[in-house]
Amino acid sequence: MEKAENNHFSRRFILGAFAASALAAAPTFSKAAGFLRGAGDIRSLNMISRRTGERFKGIYCIDNEYIPEVLEEISFFMRDWRRNEIKTIDRRTIDIIAASHKLLDTNEPYTLLSGYRSAKTNAMLRRRSRSVARHSLHMTGQAADIRLSSRSVKQVFKAAAKCSGGGVGRYYRSNFVHMDCGPVRTWRG
């Protein structure tokens, strides 16, 4: 997320300049589960929160070196907005989100519907819907519910499933895809 701190902005600016010059050399996904490890590995995330209106767009990993300050921003962005609680988002989940987005070949940001959820928020949602898991990976910062207006649920689902990085659920009626870094599995909600 954009911040006014000059030293933070400068670091992001420098990383962005580096990425722009190196992006042409970045390999494409042959198997998305590899998450672009190796030379030219630049991982970025582009999302907007449906609930808060906040936006995150930035590089969070270069050559398998995660940028701690950016990961903190992502965790804040994906917080439980109902309770304003933050949990560190698992890097594997972030990688799955980024890899699936790259496979979809779009500049449109993912719309985040749900990232981290506190136990209280999860219990409240569970009372409203039987599709909310009692031991949801959202509560451990390992899941996200995502949508893209320019791509169908089926397209986003296929891209996430191709990553073979965790669980992927498709929810056609609610128009979103669940992605997590738990056991590899797929389902239809």
Domains of the chain: 6-188 (3.30.1380.10)
The answer to whether the pTM exceeds 0.75 is yes
pLDDT band at residue 46 using 50, 70 and 90 as cut-offs:
very high
Q: How far is CA 26 from CA 3, 22, 66, 69, in A?
A: 28, 7, 17, 23
pLDDT band at residue 34 using 50, 70 and 90 as cut-offs:
low
CB of 131 closer than 8 Å to CB of 173: no
- Please tell me the number of Cα atoms within 13 Å of 183 on its side-chain side: 3
pLDDT band at residue 1 using 50, 70 and 90 as cut-offs:
low
How is the beta sheet containing 167-171 ordered, strand by strand?
A: 65-66, 55-62, 42-49, 110-114, 143-147, 176-180, 167-171, 185-188
Is 55 or 4 the better-scoring residue by pLDDT? 55
Mean pLDDT for the chain? 84
* pLDDT of res. 39: 52
